Structure 1
């Protein structure tokens, strides 16, 4: 297998990012209101926004994506990085791309003066949890939320 190259998205990458984004939403059995994906994409391209994205490329094809957001914390002077979305094409799983995407986020966040990276996954995502337990630590917190 050829090497994987990870780089931030550019305006020319929408057609590569969108199928991965849609597959990610389908994986989590969710749908978004019309226009949300387009606004999300525009935020990723806007340097004034804290939203970022990168794609993993193999043989000229996007095979993974990661979307992440820098945010303030009341527990630190420095920002934190929330890794919100991570997806690797099913046929590429188990090849290290997920780990490479997370390590890209770590490096990018550190270069942008963040003091931590954090994320969530669904409790049924056992394969991802195996990876996450090797490259991060569980914080022990339970998430609560209410749609508004």
Structure 2
């Protein structure tokens, strides 16, 4: 069996991280400019406002999770798992489940009251996992794009 590990990203992960993050954005129909990746990488490296973890199988980066915390009016701070992506050839091997567990562990250690995320209703493959590891509380997400 292959060794699966999850940890903070390092400088050596930068190129593969960008490839994975580009794949994530492609899935949602977005193409991002190079400076977007540079800004995100700088934020993740600082690990103050935004955080990133990487999943590796036998030492190769195959999955990423990006998350942040924010205040809540009804509880202690909460952790928002903003981006979760596994390389297509590594899917079905526990990578996303391990990343969710690692974010949950991080949030617990940082006194968050919960971890939450959103996905498209049509993302049935991901939702099969999400339905196993989390509660769908029936909320519908609305968004206003600003100029």
Q: Does the CA-based 8 Å contact 2:22-2:32 persist in structure 1?
A: no
TM-score (norm 1): 0.93
1:38 matched to 2:38? The reply is: yes
| Secondary structure at 2:114 match in 1 | strand
Residue in structure 2 matched with residue 63 of structure 1 by the alignment: 62
Aligned partners of 2:16 and 2:93: how far apart in 1? Answer: 20
Moved over 6 A (4+): none
Residue in structure 1 matched with residue 97 of structure 2 by the alignment: 99
Between 15-24 and 103-112, report the one with greater CA deviation: 15-24
Aligned partners of 2:72 and 2:10: how far apart in 1? Answer: 28
Aligned partners of 1:127 and 1:33: how far apart in 2? Answer: 28
Flag the 1:35–1:103 CA change in 2: closer, same or farther, 3 A: same
TM-score (norm 2): 0.94
Deviations 1:23-52 (A, max 9, x none): 1111111123552221111111114x2210
Q: Does the CA-based 8 Å contact 2:84-2:96 persist in structure 1?
A: yes
Residue in structure 2 matched with residue 143 of structure 1 by the alignment: 141
- The count of aligned residue pairs is 146
Q: Does the CA-based 8 Å contact 1:50-1:71 persist in structure 2?
A: no
**TM alignment of 1:49-60, pairs within 5 A:** 49-60=48-59
Q: Which runs of 5+ in 1 are unaligned?
A: none
Q: Does the CA-based 8 Å contact 1:55-1:66 persist in structure 2?
A: yes
RMSD over aligned Cα atoms:
1.2
Q: Does the CA-based 8 Å contact 2:70-2:77 persist in structure 1?
A: yes
| Secondary structure at 2:113 match in 1 | strand
Aligned partners of 2:62 and 2:12: how far apart in 1? Answer: 16
Aligned partners of 2:26 and 2:4: how far apart in 1? Answer: 24
